[in-house]
A and B are shown apart, each in its own frame.
Chain A
Amino acid sequence: MKMHELPDERGHFGRYGGVFVAETLVHALDELKRAYEACRKDPEFIAEFEYELKHYVGRPSPVYHAQRWSQMLGGAQIYIKREDLNHTGAHKINNTVGQALVARRMGKRRVIAETGAGMHGVAAATVAARYAMECVVYMGSEDIKRQVQNVYRMKLLGAAVVPVESGSKTLKDALNEAMRDWVTHVDNTFYIIGTVAGPHPYPMMVRDFQSVIGRECLMQMPELCGRQPDAVIACVGGGSNAMGIFYPYIPYGAVRLIGVEAGGLGIASGKHAASLCAGRPGVLHGNRTYLLQDERGQIIETHSISAGLDYPGVGPEHAWLKDTGRAEYVTIDDGEAVAAFHDLCRCEGIIPALESAHALAHAAKLAPALPRDAILLVNLSGRGDKDMHTVAAKSGIQF
């Protein structure tokens, strides 16, 4: 099987992925798998999805040549895929529009979602409003405290935000709770997972919806600079923006694919979220993948300055891209990400999300050593408006 034709029938990317769930969820996943298979082959569904991406999300998003920043770094030319310009301010909306359309075809009137930083929750609440669906978002009570504005955004959009008090009270626990809701209300409820994780068919479905990012780049790069880039760089938490831009590039063997994980306070400190760089394979949230876990197989808490990367697992397709060597994975720590955040603000007039700043920081590391005609394409997965408080606090400023 060719690399880009994975997963197999049961959701495996090599030894990763699969369906590791209690029997109570198997039927719901089978039903979803059938519904999604029908959708992805249906020209009407595809046309509707494309229409929504164009008119509601605002696609295609541009690729922008960051000339001043490239010049300042003194090496490779850095191009930026502007997912921050999408409606709701990040790539997350590509996926929630797609899943909401599948939900509508399945006749489900209630959607649920998990969220960490709140970006996926906002994107889910947005499409629920757009398609007149009831929406419940599960969010760890710790995250609710940290992301007050996004909680209010979701409420404005008509969603109910349910605080999750179990476990570490963060994203992973919100995902557990959303699964519990789904298994209990499966008749009328569609679970919109926000990243390329979870049991099959989620990693494949989310990747398919997000791969519009890479498909656009495949067209845009030759138009802009006459060829495909030398490397594509994206941040990786769960890994949906990275999968979205990597996937169409997998067959282009000359293009390096580089995923950037959150190094937090440094790998040695143990306070990071680098599942691929510092974790071990295991089973969590319905799939086999790299996990941050202790020696007894308990999932450990993660740290990153960017809440959106703060997840102890990673999409199974990334695990497989790592093992096969098709993609490389590196880490960028909190400080490096914040430095890149400020550089992009000052040099280009673009305020990036702290998540995306990890990818930018790695590009900034690579660029100076590369010739001036080298091309790096960075996925700017979201805008940084949501991060004002975090960055200000880091600079000792209080509002």
Chain B
Amino acid sequence: MKAAVSRIQSAFERLARERRKALIPYVTAGDPRAEVTVPLMRALVAAGADVIELGVPFSDPMADGPVIQRSSERALKNHIGIDDVLAFVSEFRDSDVSTPIVLMGYANPIEAMGSERFADAARRAGVDGVLVIDYPPEESVEFAKLLRARGIDMIFLLAPTSTGARIEQVARLASGYIYYVSLRGVTGAKHLDLDDVAAKLPEIRGKTRLPVGVGFGIRDGQTARAVAQIADAVVIGSRIIREMEQASPETCVKKAATLLKEIRQAIDA
């Protein structure tokens, strides 16, 4: 049986037809407040987001820099758990049936819920992809199967240090898109070497036909535009959260949307 075309796949196919690049913002669910998340997601779509990566807060976000750590801590102070995150997605789906949602987080909250229970609940809520930061391919064969059986894509990271064999291993298991981490470090780090990214992408494209998104270190329209010229998608997280931190809970949605709109324009220009 041929699997149905996923929302993520159709979003990328549409973008390819329009010769546009995908813009993927990351926000942590429940930050700065629970009631902000769904309006924020809607505002990001209106501002030009093609996919939304929604962070599931975790007490020990080992791969994240200070900005996303703070964001995760705020969400945990608001008692946001994976069940709340899924409820946000359900609510978002009431008014938006086309924008793909990817949950991004760490393994333990998923395992605490139970992988199969999580996969069922994610499908019911309308989740399209899951990126578990600390599930490398060799530890996630079973989990990827659970997701695939429910039509959910498993998104994987690749890094500048990923070897050819490693890229092939990820390509065998991944669907939706591949998230290329553009630098050595944690989320929100400072240095993004575009030449390094440009040199690595052909190797990845030689081993997978999936779209490749680039993230970690994108901070303004200019870097976003430069990345969009070589990648299929631009992922931006810490920069948006920093923008929101500098605003009040009442104005943060607007601030985030304004920033994303600027980046959208820079990419499309």
Contact = CB atoms under 8 A, between A and B. Distances in A.
B112 A295 contact: yes
A382 B267 CA distance: 59
Nearest to A291: B108
Contact of B161 (A24, A281, A282): A24
Interface in B127-154: 133-136, 138-139
A300 B76 CA distance: 12
Interface residues of A, number: 37
Interface in A152-170: 166-168
Interface in B85-135: 106-113, 133-135
A20 B113 contact: no
B82 interface: yes
Contacts of B73: 166-167
B158 A23 contact: yes
Contact of A284 (B108, B136, B161): B108
A59 interface: no
A21 B139 CA distance: 10
Q: Which of A19, A20, A168, A284 has the most CB of B within 10 A?
A: A20
A157 to B, nearest CB: 27
A90 B108 CA distance: 33
Contact of A285 (B60, B136, B158): B60
Contacts of B186: 180, 183-184
B81 interface: yes
Contact of A296 (B61, B82, B139, B184): B82
Nearest to B133: A22
Given A167-B73, A295-B112, A22 B161 contact: no
A179 B106 CA distance: 15
A293 B184 contact: no
Contacts of A168: 59
A10 interface: yes
A293 B139 CA distance: 21
Contact of B82 (A173, A284, A297): A297
Interface string A21-50: 111101110000000000000000000000
B112 A296 contact: yes
Contact of A23 (B65, B111, B113, B159): B159
A54 B258 CA distance: 65
Nearest to B109: A297
A150 interface: no
Interface string B152-173: 0000111101110010001000
B199 interface: no
Interface string B38-72: 00000000000000000000111111011001000
Interface string A1-27: 000000000100000001111111011
A22 B109 contact: no
Interface string A175-202: 0100110011010000000000000000
B161 A297 contact: no
B230 interface: no
Contact of A18 (B76, B139, B161, B170): B139
A286 interface: yes
A283 B62 contact: no
B221 interface: no
A166 B111 contact: no
Query: 5 nearest interchain CB pairs?
Result: A297-B112, A27-B161, A297-B109, A296-B81, A22-B63
23 contacts: A10-B138, A19-B136, A21-B62, A22-B63, A23-B136, A23-B158, A23-B159, A23-B181, A24-B63, A166-B66, A167-B59, A168-B59, A176-B60, A179-B62, A184-B184, A282-B112, A283-B108, A284-B60, A284-B108, A296-B81, A296-B82, A297-B81, A297-B111
Given A22-B63, A186-B184, A282-B107, 15 more contacts: A19-B138, A19-B139, A22-B133, A26-B162, A28-B161, A166-B69, A172-B60, A179-B63, A180-B63, A184-B186, A283-B111, A286-B134, A293-B112, A295-B112, A298-B59
Interface of A: 10, 18-24, 26-28, 166-168, 172-173, 176, 179-180, 183-184, 186, 280-286, 291, 293, 295-300
